Amino acid sequence: MRLDLPTAMLSVLLLGSACIVEAPGGASAEERRAVTVQEIPGLSVRNGANLGGKVELTAATVEPGRISPGSRAQVTLYFKVLQPLEEDYHVFVHVEDVGGRMERMNMDHPPANGRLPTSQWKPGEVVKDEFSIYLPADASPKALNIWLGMWDPKTDSRLPLTNPDKIRNDGRNRILLAQVPVAQ
């Protein structure tokens, strides 16, 4: 059986994670290719959150779409660079039980596995950021909310959401990316 995947989807599937590499002199062409994409995969959920007029969260995927206690879900974000960023922002991620019975999980991290700091992002690029969410085996929420945004760890300030009327958010520059059901 032959499976023909669109070139863009195949290239996204073939991009693997690598160790974190510091790039004091700038990212190499190979590092840049590893964390940028030409097209967003067709199965992604579109978003459109504009952060400070600098970055747009264009799409995201959460796989699987339902998580079981003791398992992981893979989250992939796609950021389109609109304007140069002077600072090296991190992606903040808050995973919360919709019922409020579980302590919040923080998964803050430098985007693109630290391989391409935001101060090196170029307008027009789409930068892929991947991370996983682990739900402890003893957890029993009905669903998880995934909140996120970008923040400067030096100043502890968030990039403001410039289109809050179009994006699900909490009014504190946190975007509600998804509500993931938990298998019981």
Give the pLDDT score at 41: 53
Q: Which residues of 58-77 are buried (b: 16+ CB within 10 A; e: fewer)?
A: bbbbbeeeebeeeeebebbb
Domain boundaries, the chain: 7-181
92-113 average pLDDT score? 94
68-95 average pLDDT score? 96
Q: What is the CATH number of domain 7-181?
A: 2.60.40.770
Say whether pLDDT at 82 is over 50.
Answer: yes
Give the pLDDT score at 72: 94
Give the pLDDT score at 64: 87
How confident is the model over 121-152, as pLDDT tens digits? 999 999 999 999 999 999 999 999 999 999 99
Q: How far apart are CA 148 and CA 92, in angstroms?
A: 5
Give the pLDDT score at 27: 81
Question: CA nearest 68: which of 142, 126, 178?
Answer: 142
Q: How confident is the model at residue 170 (pLDDT cuts 50, 70, 90)?
A: very high
Q: How confident is the model at residue 2 (pLDDT cuts 50, 70, 90)?
A: very low
24 preceded by a cis bond (ω within 30 of 0): no
Give the pLDDT score at 24: 52
Helix, coil or strand: residue 163:
coil
